[in-house]
Structure 1
Amino acid sequence: MSELLQLLLESEEKSDFRSFLSDLRLQETRYWLRNDIINVYSDYCSKYQKSEQFCTASNLGKLIYYTQEIIQEEYSFCFIIRPTIASQEVYRVTEELEIIPMTVQELLDLRDRFVNKFHPQDGYLLELDFGPFYDYSPTIRDPKNIGKGVEFLNRYLSSKIFQDRNEWLESLFDFLQLHHYNGVQLLINDRIKSQKQLSAQVKKALGFVSGRPKNESYEQFRFDLQMIGFEPGWGNTAERVQETLSILDELIDSPDPTILEGFISRLPIIFRIVLVSAHGWFGQEGVLGRPDTGGQVVYVLDQAKSLEKQLQEDALLAGLEGLNVQPKVIILTRLIPNSDGTMCNQRLEKVHGSENAWILRVPLREFNPNMTQNWISRFEFWPYLETFAIDSERELLAELQGRPDLIVGNYTDGNLVAFLLARRMKVTQCNIAHALEKSKYLFSNLYWQDLDDKYHFSLQFTADLIAMNAANFVVSSTYQEIVGTGDSVGQYESYKCFTMPDLYHVVNGTELFSPKFNVVPPGVNENYYFPYTRTEDRVESDGVRLEEMLFTSEDSSQIFGKLDDPSKRPLFSMARLDRIKNLTGLAECFGRSKELQEHCNLILVAGKIHLEESGDNEEREEIIKLYHIIDEYNLHGKIRWLGVRLSKTDSGEIYRVIAQRQGIFVQPALFEAFGLTILEAMISGLPTFATQFGGPLEIIQDQVNGFYINPTNLEETAEKILDFASKCEQNANYWSAISQAAIKRVYSTYTWKIHTTKLLSLARIYGFWNFTSRENREDLLRYLEALFYLIYKPKAQKLLEQHQHR
């Protein structure tokens, strides 16, 4: 990037650069983000009648494209430039157009001065730098391979085995000796006493099973293999045992990444999994649409059922049927005594449709019962996490009759609990963030002191740093969740370098090139969400009832609006009412377009319709705003707003009812980390328009199986939807073509079977990696504990003291 700057200053564009900086000085703001920079540059090009070629292809145009932030000081500008994904360069540009590189520390100091210009920081701040702790770990070089951590790790481990064969085979031998189920030894017994003997005995066992009928049950020759040194876990038939032993034999003789993954992925070493979803209304009925629920509850429940099913299949294939293996999945959440008629006050609840998956609810310690016996917002939950983890450990040990094999955290609070549990129980830890709040709220770290009373970002971002660095592996739904796109910063990337003025500087908050990051998108529950054309699986009476509710019924107090012409094409969206989900933005988009109103009705299934029924401040604000938009644009007769809680069955059928009327689904979020509703709509057969900010960019292939929209550009969004509706009216097959392409996209990529198979493979590989490098992680974990006890815990205690007076 320094070469581009040099070219700029040596060319005729130098005067344009100077002129552009002069225009910046005339602006009211002194801190510009990328969209602001592009807008100012666009205005500059228009003002001086610059050609399109100059705007995009000039050195100045290229510099503007790569610039993420500009900060104006008294006599200079600071340019924060992102030349490639997951990289950053910082330069000071003086009045004389001298370019001076800046260090990370200088940038963080500048940001602090910007915030505290009237109260400059005295002394030094704590600096957090996790970089040195990743020296033990291999590092990915090419940004394209970020999110493919396990593939890289397999190659690395295989090369290590090849380079230092004896040491790594010794580690593999020790790893195989570790595993048992309810006290029964698995894989190898003490008749095999060394890695050298293991190699010989593998060949001996292969010779034995190769002579047996392929379909012969493992139980028929179990004791023969035990005499050679091999316990249950290699396969359920002679053929399966031979396959697994052959893979091990090949791995010992000629290590290869694919062989390593294939072998470790087959091993029956995971039987008990804990999924942590700590804060919200977590239940199976009556919770969707409540604050802090929705996508998370759906995701975790579906994941739990799919994991249990996959564990059962794996145990059967491994030949463990004779041991009466019963894999168990526990969803760990909090018990809410005042549960508002839901099951959230029940300690234990079986997950519907499972054999051994359970919701385990652990109560918070009393402290102030006015707080702890009720639902607590995710923004206020921080003081209770440590004691919740301590109490949960005891409950989990009792329910599982031992330690879990894997702990998976969900969201920031769940991930911090997962860290505390994994640290105490010495278990492999997986993080799933879903959505990191830091990316949602602009300048949330810079102005944390102004926002802390409401959002407590100081606790949240500290918890994120601890959990994401402690995790053995991190699962993201999309690549851009980690490192964004060519022109936008990823959620995890935003933790790389930032300041929280007067609290600490983060010089290196996460190693984006670490092989711990893996993209494993979730699936969609095919029992509830399936194509509208599968009429044999639909319940006709449900369809009739929901169609009346959506379009014509006037009986419910939870429905606002009567449609003048219910036969118009439905424009449909379903989400909770909060600022980020932006349903009010969709309503305004619809309200501004008279043409769109002529073609479509707007149908919203969203939270509550009565202000007094909501206890969530943000939801209340959105309810007021939506009523205001309806009145401002006179949408009466053109909109239906349903404030209803739906079962999964009804939720799935609503998509199909809309699809049957050749409707359109719109997901207008200002940012969407992934977008389960997008998958649900697409698999139902609904042509889908979804935000271009976040995960939908990787789900939808624009104009092939769906469409991107910029929800901040209301006119453009309306034009895109209108254009689609017009094409459908002109060509009867166009709607069906997009519908079928959407269905195909989901089935090929986004099923829970694909997700859980990959997740369990990751857990086994990282479990092996964790075992072989456990001593090298201790320094990192100690550092994280210091951060927890010295920064997080004192601030959590202060918040707890506030809660005790409520």
Structure 2
Amino acid sequence: MGLRLLHLNLHGLIRSHDLELGRDSDTGGQTLYVLELVKGLAARPEVDKVQLFTRLIHDRRVSTDYAKPVEKISSCAEIIRLPFGPKRYVRKELLWPYLDDLADQIVQRLQQDKNLPDWIHAHYADAGYVGALVSRRLGLPLVFTGHSLGREKLRRLLAAGVDHDQIEQTYSISKRIDAEEIALAHSNLLITSTKQESDEQYSRYGKFSSKNVETIPPGVDLNRFHSIDLNQTEEEKELDKIFKPFLRNTKLSPLLAISRAVRRKNIPALIETYGRSPVLQQRHNLILILGCREDSRQLEKQQKEVFQQIFELVDKYNLYGKVAYPKQHKREQIPSIYRWVAKRKGLFVNPALTEPFGLTLLEAAACGLPLVATDDGGPRDILSRCENGLLVDVTDLEAFRDGLETAGSNSSLWKTWSNNGVEAVSRHFSWDAHVCNYIALMQKRLKFLAPRYWTFGKTKEATPISKNLLLLDLDNYLEQSESQGLSKLRNKLNETSFKMDIQLGILTGRSIKSARHLYAAKQLPKPAVWICQAGTEIYYSDENKTDIFWQESIAIDWNRKGVEKALFDLKDYMELQSIDNQAPYKVSYLLKEPSTALLPLVRKRLRQAGLAALPHLKCHWYLDIVPLRASRAEAIRFLTLRWGLSLEKVLIVASQQGDAELLKGLTPTVVTCDHDASLERFRTQQRVFFSDSEDCVLDGLKYFRFFNTQ
């Protein structure tokens, strides 16, 4: 059997044809790279199937193509679109609350397929987070490519003087960085485009390991991007029509920039440099291909701000007749634009503040167009191999100007650079070479991985969980003083008809011994399962031995002593709980003053120590540090996979601060009437039911139709 591969690219505006590149900040080169990689893999004889999972979108503002649940790319490649979050198209920063829903959907879908993928390749931070959850639950190898990283973006924005709170509000930067940490911790392999990415960017993450990195430069489709002369063909005439309304003299040597209209691409600095140089204005036109737009007033905020800067700079330096920024172009015209500029002995300019790789640089080089590019990231690797232009410090406008003036001053050097680029791209950066390297590395690094532990339930042993499962919190809901609602629940659960439909499960931070002692006084039916010690131990019925498969899955890289050592200097803010409240896979603290502000500091300490551990704050006072792969929510999902139970058949009761993890994903959840205010943000979630009565659990059972008899 050939390889079966799964790729994750979540923003949704991706299809097999007519990519809307540059439409917004989410539709850049990453989108093209992922699609071309999927197509390239599907064409290989070693590959049986490639699936690209993304988001299903119903929105009159975008094409109906993005509302198709399945789109065939080729005979063995397809795009699978799953609904999560709002139906309409939204920028990726608004999708964080819904990613757990997607992870649950993907796991359920893969469960139904007899042949699981050989590996998951997640692209960007959001897909990395989802890929980590799917990988964790199904035991599948995970490959991660960040494309651009949150820490680097944060560093650049702070250096530009943007307020930290504004960055957080606009980009959800802390969620993005946390997701990248989680993806790196779960990844079996990290793919970068350049060595600089791993050395200077990924290395700033706590779970980064240089042993897990492979550098594979992206490829170029040489059937589209080539240096054949136009010779006044139809495509050149079409481009003349696009540029002539902007330019007085279309025969001048152009400076071409192609990018999205976002701050990181630094287009205003290019216009400023051009506007300050009489030499550049006399010698060159400036052509800016910044995606397509109908009305700049309808653009998203960042794009609108960039275009406003462009309009103001053109006006400031009176560049009318010298700068072209057409509103529309077709994707198939991009190769022609490169060749149009090359025929006029122009230059391709990349002024980005940071450039993870720079696929447009390779496209331009393949078309015979020399480069002037930012001395940051991918351009270093490209120019070191291609020797087809100059690197410049784009943050120094004088140096930027000197580089552009020098590059355009020597026709003999231009010809050498042009030939070098065409030859080097063909030798080093073709898609065939990229895909061959990709498959060879994957098979070498991932061949013996994939312990698919969810199939353990397919044994002859008795199944302890086979009905609807009601999970109650022993430490809060059940420990509270006797109420009328709890009394009614007890009576109902003890009825024979209810016992036929529902099994009970208990969630607790306590040990199994302590939990059973406290539960005995509640006069409720015997639980089928106990999730103890903050999700790190699972017991069935009256058994005293924890589920060994769960223990093995969460034990990876766990270092209990390391956790205590890393947090020792926070003793003024918290103290270790008694030995009775500790466990092999849980370090428990009691805060001296309730504060959620301590959590980021604890996370930072654990990350700096390189520990695979996560903090969970419960009821404002109780802080548990558990393995990275452990939590109550993950224990629940392990149970459903282990015993073949649908998530929709698990009803969870939540009430306290710290229960947010239980409200994410596809499991139906009841929030009690006396719930903590921190849970209010989940009121819009489809599978969360807020009860206003003391009979909250019974209300929830009826709302979710959890039993056959009413």
TM range (shorter): 0.5 to 0.7
Do 1:492 and 1:510's aligned partners in 2 also have CA atoms closer than 8 Å? no
Q: Check whether the contact 1:271–1:328 (CA below 8 A) recurs between aligned residues.
A: yes
- Tell me the distance in 2 between the aligned counterparts of 1:300 and 1:678: 17
Picking from 393, 411, 426, the partner of 2:124 is 411
**Among residues 163, 166, 180, which one is paired with 1:464 in the alignment?**
180
> Superposition pairs for residues 2-21 of structure 1, below 5 Å?
none
The residue that corresponds to 1:779 in the other structure is: 556
Residue 259 of structure 2 aligns with an amino acid whose one-letter code is A
Structure 1 CA distance, aligned partners of 2:68 and 2:300?
Answer: 24
**Alpha-carbon distance in 1 for matches of 2:660, 2:289:** 38
Q: Distance in 2 between matches of 1:620 and 1:796?
A: 34
In the alignment, structure 1 residue 512 sits paired with structure 2 residue 209:
yes
| Equivalent residues in 2 for 1:153-552, closer than 5 Å | 181=1, 271-283=3-15, 284-285=17-18, 287-291=20-24, 292-310=26-44, 312=45, 314=46, 327-338=48-59, 340-351=62-73, 354-364=74-84, 372-396=86-110, 402-442=115-155, 451-483=167-199, 490-495=200-205, 509-513=206-210, 515-533=211-229, 540-549=233-242, 551-552=243-244
* Contact 2:216/2:437 (<8 A) preserved: yes
* Cα pair 1:675 1:696 within 8 Å, conserved: yes
Q: Residues of 1 paired with 2:683 and 2:237: CA distance?
A: 48
Amino acid at match of 2:207: T
State whether residues 459 and 795 of structure 1, in contact with CA within 8 Å, keep that contact through their aligned partners in structure 2.
no
Structure 2: runs of 5+ lacking an equivalent: 454-551, 558-611, 613-625, 634-657, 666-677, 686-710
Say whether 1:720 aligns with 2:403: yes
Q: How far 1:448 moved relative to its partner?
A: 5.5
Deviation at 1:704, TM superposition (A): 2.9
**CA distance in 2: counterparts of 1:759 and 1:286, whole angstroms:** 23
Deviation at 1:615, TM superposition (A): 3.6
Counterpart code for 1:373: K
Give CA deviations for 1:547-605 in whole Å, capped at 9, x if unaligned.
Answer: 321x31x4xxxxxxx21222111111111100001111111111111111000000111
1:726 deviates by: 1.7
How much does 1:430 deviate?
0.4
- Of 710-719 and 623-632, the range deviating more from structure 2: 710-719
Aligned CA distance change for structure 1 residues 525 and 795 (closer, same or farther; 3 Å): farther
* 8 Å CA contact 2:660, 2:679 repeated in 1: no
CA contact (8 A) 1:289 1:645 kept: no
Which whole-Å deviations, capped at 9, do the CAs of 1:353-384 have from their partners, x for residues lacking one? Answer: x332111111115xxxxxx1111212221111
Paired residue type of 2:31 = V
Residue 632 of structure 1 corresponds to 316
Question: Aligned partners of 1:403, 1:720: CA distance in 2, in Å?
Answer: 52
SS at the partner of 1:643? coil
- Unpaired runs of at least 5, structure 1: 1-180, 182-269, 316-326, 366-371, 484-489, 496-508, 555-561
Q: 1:481 to 1:777 in 2, by over 3 A?
A: farther
Question: Which residue of the partner structure matches residue 381 of structure 2?
Answer: 698
Tell me the distance in 2 between the aligned counterparts of 1:463 and 1:699: 29
Aligned partners of 2:679, 2:415: CA distance in 1, in Å?
Answer: 54
Q: Give a deviation string over 1:177-224, Cα, whole Å, max 9, x none.
A: xxxx4xxxxxxxxxxxxxxxxxxxxxxxxxxxxxxxxxxxxxxxxxxx
Aligned residue type for 1:512 = S
Opposite residue 770 of structure 1, the aligned amino acid is L
Query: Alpha-carbon deviation of 1:667?
Result: 0.6
Could you say what secondary structure the match of 2:268 adopts? helix
Asked if 1 retains the 8 angstrom alpha-carbon contact of 2:389 and 2:407, the reply is no
Counterparts of 1:342 and 1:676 in 2: how far apart (Å)? Answer: 28
Displacement of 1:542: 2.4
Cα separation, 1, equivalents of 2:21 and 2:374: 22
Deviation at 1:785, TM superposition (A): 2.9
8 Å CA contact retained: 1:408, 1:418 = yes
Which protein has greater RCO, CA pairs closer than 8 Å, 6+ apart? 1
TM-aligned CA distance change 1:450 to 1:621, over 3 Å? closer
Change beyond 3 A, Cα 1:477–1:750: same
What's the % identity of the aligned pairs?
29
Asked if the contact 1:547–1:657 (Cα under 8 Å) also holds between the matched residues in 2, the reply is no
Q: Which range moves more in the overlay, 683-692 or 707-716?
A: 707-716
Distance 1:294 1:342, change over 3 A: farther
Higher mean Cα deviation, 683-692 or 697-706? 697-706
2-structure distance, mates of 1:795, 1:687:
54
CA contact under 8 A between 2:139 and 2:452: conserved in structure 1? no
Tell whether 2:390 aligns with 1:688: no
Superposition map of 1:553-632 within 5 A: 554=245, 562-608=246-292, 612-632=296-316
Q: 2:23·2:292 contact (CA, 8 Å) conserved in 1?
A: no
Contact conserved, 1:666 with 1:690, CA < 8 A, in 2?
yes
Structure 1 residue 767: deviation in Å?
2.3
The CA distance in 1 between the partners of 2:90 and 2:347, in whole Å, is: 36
Q: How far apart are the structure 2 equivalents of 1:707 and 1:393?
A: 48
Q: Name the CA distance, whole Å, in 1 between partners of 2:357 and 2:240.
A: 28
In 2: Cα distance, 1:463 partner to 1:492 partner: 13
- Seen in structure 2, the aligned counterparts of structure 1 residues 477 and 792 have a Cα distance that, compared at 3 Å, is farther
Residues 569 and 753 of structure 1, relative CA distance in 2, 3 Å threshold: same
Contact 1:279 1:333 in 2 (8 A): yes
Q: For residue 185 of structure 1, what is the aligned residue in structure 2?
A: none
When residues 741 and 767 of structure 1 are mapped into structure 2, their CA distance, relative to the original with a 3 A threshold, is same
> Could you tell me how far 1:606 is from its partner in structure 2?
0.8
* CA shift in 2, pair 1:795/1:437, >3 Å: farther
SS in 2 for 1:461: helix
> Hey, what's the Cα distance between the residues in 1 that align with 2:452 and 2:116?
21
Letter in 1 for 2:174: S
Q: Is the 8 A contact 1:279 1:414 kept in 2?
A: no
Is 2:222–2:426's contact at 8 Å kept on the other side of the alignment?
no
Q: What SS is found at the alignment partner of 1:492?
A: helix
Q: CA deviation at 1:778?
A: 4.4
Compute the displacement of 1:282 (Å). Answer: 1.5
Q: Any conservation in 2 of the 1:286–1:342 contact (CA below 8 Å)?
A: no
Runs of 4+, deviation exceeding 4 Å: 443-450, 608-613, 771-778, 786-800, 802-805
Distance 2:679 2:395 in 1: 35
By how many angstroms is 1:687 displaced?
0.5
Letter in 2 for 1:586: L
Shift of 1:401: 5.0
Cα 1:660/1:738, change in 2 over 3 Å: same
Aligned residues: 478
Q: TM-score, normalised by structure 1?
A: 0.55
Give the SS at the match of 2:5: strand
Letter in 2 for 1:779: I
Cα displacement (A) at 1:452: 2.5
User: How far did 1:735 drift?
Assistant: 1.9
| Cα pair 2:248 2:321 within 8 Å, conserved | yes
1:574–1:606 Cα contact (<8 Å) kept: yes
Contact map agreement 2:139 2:450 (CA 8 A) in 1: no
2-structure distance, mates of 1:426, 1:511 = 20
The equivalent of 2:440 in structure 1 is: 761
Alpha-carbon distance in 2 for matches of 1:794, 1:443: 35
Contact 1:570 1:664 in 2 (8 A): yes
